[in-house]
Amino acid sequence: MAYHDDLLQQAMELAHKNPASPTQADLRRSVSAAYYALFHLLVSETIAHWSPASSRDALGRMFEHSVMKRVSGRISDSRFFPFTGEDPKVVRNLKTVAQAFAQLQDKRHIADYDNTTFWTATEALREVTTAAKAFSIWQEIRDEKIAQDYLVSLLIKPRD
């Protein structure tokens, strides 16, 4: 199983661990793992098409979380991504994946750094489910040109 799949599975297991009395550590780590699962899925999908294969690991380390979030947040803005002539369902699905990425990054920051926030199992599971849905949607659109363009854009710092 790929690393991103392992992370998604771990996120799900942590969210369901000890349902009667889940710990904040398990719930927080489930949210964090959900974000990193989607992060690594997108990185993996991008570098899979890179040639030569010997450079893929180095390329994978070039992704910046903040750039990826910024690009993902801009996907819904038609000034930056007009998607003229594209299949509306594919566009909707791509926007869902991009929005999930941005949302999960925000939630991961809260889970990892905001000790004043108390997480419930329902809230943690909602974020894990968001990641799982993004994984599923990605499988439907991964070969579409706009999906591949999105992956490339995750490496490029957007200009305002």
3-state secondary structure 49-116: CCCCHHHHHHHHCCCCHHHHHHHHHHCCCCCCCCCCCCCHHHHHHHHHHHHHHHHHHHHHHHHHHCCC
pLDDT on residue 63: 82
Model's pTM, two decimal places? 0.93
pLDDT on residue 81: 87
Q: Which of 68, 87, 88 is nearest to 151 (CA)?
A: 68
60 confidence band (pLDDT: 50, 70, 90): confident
pLDDT on residue 160: 63
Q: How far is CA 29 from the centre of its chain?
A: 15
Domains of the chain, by residue range, sit at 3-153
How far CA 115 is from CA of 106, 110, 111, 151, in Å, comes to 14, 8, 8, 33
pLDDT tens sequence across 78-134: 888 889 999 999 999 999 999 999 999 999 999 999 999 999 999 999 999 999 999
